[in-house]
Amino acid sequence: MTAPRTPQDQQEVIAFLSDPASYTPAPERVERMETHCAYIFLAGTQAWKIKRAVRLSYLDFSTLQQRRAACEREVEINRITAPDLYLGVVPICRAADGSLSFGGPGEAVEWAVHMKRFDQEALLDSMARRGALPLSLMVPLADHIAAYHARAPVRRSRDGRATAALEAVVDSVAQALSNAPDYGSALKRAFAAARALLEEREQAGHVRRCHGDLHLRNIVVLNGKPVLFDAIEFDEQIATIDVLYDLAFLLMDLWHRAKRRHANLVLNRYLWREGSEETLAGLRLMPLFLSLRAGVRAMVASDRLAQLSGRARAPLRDEMES
């Protein structure tokens, strides 16, 4: 399979951001990272992130205006939990002579999220892979998430709007993973059985504007404390979810990394902090939530796999099959 081509404008911006001479002061080298929807450039003490010019089933960054809006929303929503990381949004401009620069002069050809760089080894995903994720960190992590959910804006609805949106996710995952029809059928049956409870919790105020992408790669330890970052910015509907569904991504990820004690401690501490009968009753939804989160990860990984070619595909394919 051939990876999709990067638009010419973005190729030039990628070359600009990959060049140490583009920065002041110039770092010795620039490290480049990629996801299914972004390019990240680590330069000295700074990090710069641009959105890929892609259109996927669940996001559309195909125009410059859409990418600018996504960058601005990313900074806005993530300053709630990580104000020291997110420095702002900066245009990358083309001057009359064709050269590119941060902030101008000239017309903006791309928009970048400007961030403070952190040690990649401080990501919980990296710590888990190294076998260095301390069990003791799970208590402050659960406390932090519980407090975040408690402050999150409630999106109460009597027409089952969030439940219908979740059903659409179920359908999308089942379609994307059509090569596993038994999984898709089981997922749909589980959702149908859970619908009444989902709608009940939505009416009761347990659907909130959450993080939406709460897994180990989006949590970093700074100054000894867990910090959430990289919350969903491109679709309010995807992030407007049951708080237990938000938590389920982290629990699924810990379970996938064979960190079952860690997952149990996070869940038990979260329940202790929250402490309501409604939350305990909501645990009946957790098998559905965990399974759906695993399906979403597989769907996103499949999209990323389509962007890769050759040997670069093997590690991701292995992870999808694990």
Ranges 1-10, 129-138, 159-168: which has the least confidence: 1-10
CB-CB neighbours of 322 under 10 Å: 7
CB-CB neighbours of 143 under 10 Å: 16
Same domain, 192 and 261: yes
Based on the structure, what is the number of domains in the chain? Answer: 2
Q: Indicate whether 131 belongs to any domain.
A: yes
- The pLDDT value recorded for residue 245 is 98
**Burial 92-108, CB ≥16 within 10 A → b, else e:** bbbeeeeebebeeebee
Same domain, 67 and 166: no
Mean local confidence (pLDDT), 242-247:
98
Same domain, 290 and 156: yes
CATH code of residue 196: 3.90.1200
Contact 162, 153 (CB under 8 A): no
pLDDT digits (tens, 9 = 90+) for 195-227: 999 999 999 999 999 999 999 999 999 999 999
Which pairs with CB-CB distance under 8 Å and at least 24 residues apart come from 32-35?
34/307, 35/304
Mean local confidence (pLDDT), 168-180:
93
Alpha-carbon distance 129 to 137, whole Å? 15
Instruction: Provide the CA 305 distance to its chain's centre, in angstroms.
Output: 17
Nearest to 279 by CA among 267, 291, 290: 267
Same domain, 136 and 89: no
Q: Indicate whether 185 belongs to any domain.
A: yes
pLDDT digits (tens, 9 = 90+) for 135-151: 999 999 999 999 999 99
CB-CB neighbours of 89 under 10 Å: 18
Same domain, 281 and 225: yes
Same domain, 153 and 42: no
Q: N- to C-terminal Cα distance for the chain?
A: 22
- The pLDDT value recorded for residue 2 is 39
Q: Indicate whether 288 belongs to any domain.
A: yes
- The pLDDT value recorded for residue 1 is 37
Which of 92, 117, 142 represents a domain boundary (last residue)? Answer: 117
Same domain, 63 and 193: no
SS (H, E, C) 135-200: HHHHHHHHHHHHHHHHHCCECCCCCCHHHHHHHHHHHHHHHHCCCCHHHHHHHHHHHHHHHHHHHH
Residue type, 131: G
Q: Indicate whether 108 belongs to any domain.
A: yes
Which of 117, 152, 177 represents a domain boundary (last residue)? Answer: 117
Same domain, 303 and 158: yes
Instruction: Provide the CA 177 distance to its chain's centre, in angstroms.
Output: 20
Alpha-carbon distance 190 to 292, whole Å? 10
The pair of three-digit structure tokens given for residue 139, joined into one six-digit string:
């208590």
The boundaries of the domain holding residue 72 are 8-117
Q: Which CA distances in Å does 96 have to 13, 106, 108?
A: 16, 7, 12
Same domain, 78 and 149: no
Same domain, 193 and 287: yes
Ranges 179-183, 252-256, 290-294: which has the least confidence: 179-183
pLDDT at 169 exceeding the cut of 60: yes
Same domain, 107 and 131: no
Which of 117, 138, 172 represents a domain boundary (last residue)? Answer: 117
pLDDT at 61 exceeding the cut of 80: yes
Q: Indicate whether 82 belongs to any domain.
A: yes
Mean local confidence (pLDDT), 1-16:
72
- The pLDDT value recorded for residue 4 is 47
- Give pTM, 2 decimals: 0.90
Q: Indicate whether 177 belongs to any domain.
A: yes
Same domain, 222 and 260: yes
Contact 14, 22 (CB under 8 A): no
Q: Indicate whether 2 belongs to any domain.
A: no
